[in-house]
């Protein structure tokens, strides 16, 4: 294992001012996203959409890495036919790959899911490295339902799978992004969200240690600690930032270089405002880069602006660049309403 190369990539992914574009929607998810704009998902339309994002002039100022779905890892730019891993690397953007096979119900634990995909992963990693991927993502899905879900069994099963994946990734020379996503669907309080997030991350680091994972060569991708989306009296921005920072300080070792938040079901602006406040409030006792690995919060407006219309590609690129810039500024605590207002849909 080349520890210094892993540490270098793990640090670069969260470099100040930059973060990750999660463009690794699985086939069912990209089908849903494209259907929402009236486009049928095929390998060609998926490629056209991803090409729009990856050929946006200047996006590399704000984007450190891109997570790809396996189909995209093997595809190429529309003009010039340059394989995406090569195209991205040339821009200084690290190509990554989603490797999990999705979450399935966990036997014996109603309401809990466990993520599959470990079988054959060593061979898949060798192929992905060969194709140019230098980091990977595995997502565990944790629901909150009353007091019983998630169960400790569910948290441990997911932590174990994440740690087995992380060890295999490092063996193959890829930085593992570990994503224990606590879903925010439901009416739960921000306190319950914090309690479950802390338990999930604590189990994760116990398992990573057990599986002898080199923490300096890993990245954590957590949810922000917010109130359940359907609850009344949801917590405000300061409360979200404080609860998220408190949670991370309790359970993420200082050896971890970068923490990159997912956006979940937050709007683009909500996710950006929260990330900005987290960075404003982080203080000297938060030793990590605190950045983003957004999917929807970088793509929503761009996708809607494109709408499958070639004439709208440039406008969609402008929408994506705006979100990337706003998110990049939020990693520095430099985002503002004035920056947000510098671009409007349709401009």
- Site pattern 260..279 for ligand 13P (x: CB under 6 A): --xxx---------------
Nearer to ligand 13P, 56 or 263 (CB): 263
Shortest separation between residue 311's beta carbon and ligand 13P, angstroms:
27
18, 25, 113, 179: which one is catalytic? 179
| Near ligand 13P in 284-303, by CB under 6 A | 293-297
Residue 318 C-beta: closest distance to ligand 13P, Å: 20
Tokens linked to 328: 């990049």
Q: How many CA atoms lie within 13 A of 138 on its CB side?
A: 26
Give 51 or 181: the residue with its C-beta nearer to ligand 13P.
181
What token pair was written down for 255?
Answer: 């050896």
Q: Among residues 98, 221, 282, 317, which one is catalytic?
A: 221
Q: Which of residues 107-146 bind ligand 13P (CB under 6 A)?
A: 139
| Least CB distance to ligand 13P at residue 295 (A) | 3
> Is the preceding omega at residue 150 within 30 degrees of 0, hence cis?
yes
Q: Which residues of 283-316 are buried (b: 16+ CB within 10 A; e: fewer)?
A: eeebebbbbbbbbbbbbbbbbebbeeeeebbebb
Question: Is 179 annotated in the active site?
Answer: yes
Check if the beta carbon of residue 66 is closer than 8 Å to that of residue 88. Answer: yes
Quickly count: other Cβ atoms within 10 Å of residue 45's Cβ: 15
Pick the closer one to ligand 13P by CB: 209 or 234. Answer: 234
Would you tell me the crossing angle of helices 268-281 and 296-306 to the nearest 10 degrees? 150
Q: How far is the CB of 2 from ligand 13P (least distance, A)?
A: 26
Q: Is 221 a catalytic residue?
A: yes
Q: Which one, of 77, 25, 34, lies nearest residue 304 by Cα?
A: 34
Catalytic residues: 179, 221
Site residues for ligand 13P per CB under 6 A:
22, 139, 179, 262-264, 293-297
């Amino acid at each position: 294992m080349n520890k210094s190369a892993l540490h270098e990539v793990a640090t670069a992914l969260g470099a100040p001012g930059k973060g990750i574009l999660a463009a690794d929607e699985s086939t069912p998810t990209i089908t849903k996203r494209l259907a929402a704009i009236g486009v049928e998902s095929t390998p060609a339309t998926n490629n056209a959409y991803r090409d729009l994002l990856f050929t946006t002039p200047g996006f590399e100022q704000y984007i450190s890495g891109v997570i790809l779905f396996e189909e995209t890892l093997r595809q190429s730019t529309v003009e010039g036919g340059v394989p995406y891993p090569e195209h991205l690397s040339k821009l200084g953007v690290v190509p990554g790959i989603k490797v999990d096979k999705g979450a399935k119900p966990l036997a014996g634990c109603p309401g809990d899911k466990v993520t599959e995909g470990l079988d054959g992963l060593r061979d898949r990693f060798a192929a992905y490295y060969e194709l140019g991927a230098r980091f990977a993502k595995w997502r565990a899905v944790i629901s909150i339902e009353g007091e019983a879900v998630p169960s400790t069994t569910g948290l441990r099963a997911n932590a174990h799978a994440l740690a087995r994946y992380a060890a295999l990734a490092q063996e193959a020379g890829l930085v593992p992004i570990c994503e224990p996503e606590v879903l925010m669907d439901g009416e739960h309080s921000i306190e319950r969200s914090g309690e479950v997030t802390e338990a999930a991350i604590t189990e994760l680091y116990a398992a990573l240690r057990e599986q002898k994972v080199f923490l300096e060569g890993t990245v954590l991708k957590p949810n922000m600690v917010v109130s359940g989306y359907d609850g009344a009296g949801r917590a405000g921005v300061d409360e979200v930032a404080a609860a998220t920072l408190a949670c991370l300080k309790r359970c993420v070792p200082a050896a971890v270089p970068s923490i990159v938040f997912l956006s979940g079901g937050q709007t683009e602006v909500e996710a950006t405002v929260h990330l900005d406040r987290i960075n404003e409030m982080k203080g000297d006792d938060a030793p990590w880069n605190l950045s983003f690995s957004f999917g929807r919060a970088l793509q929503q407006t761009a996708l809607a602006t494109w709408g499958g219309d070639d004439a709208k590609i440039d406008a969609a690129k402008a929408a994506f660049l705006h979100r990337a810039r706003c998110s990049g500024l939020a990693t520095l605590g430099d985002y503002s309403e004035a920056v947000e207002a510098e671009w409007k849909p349709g401009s």
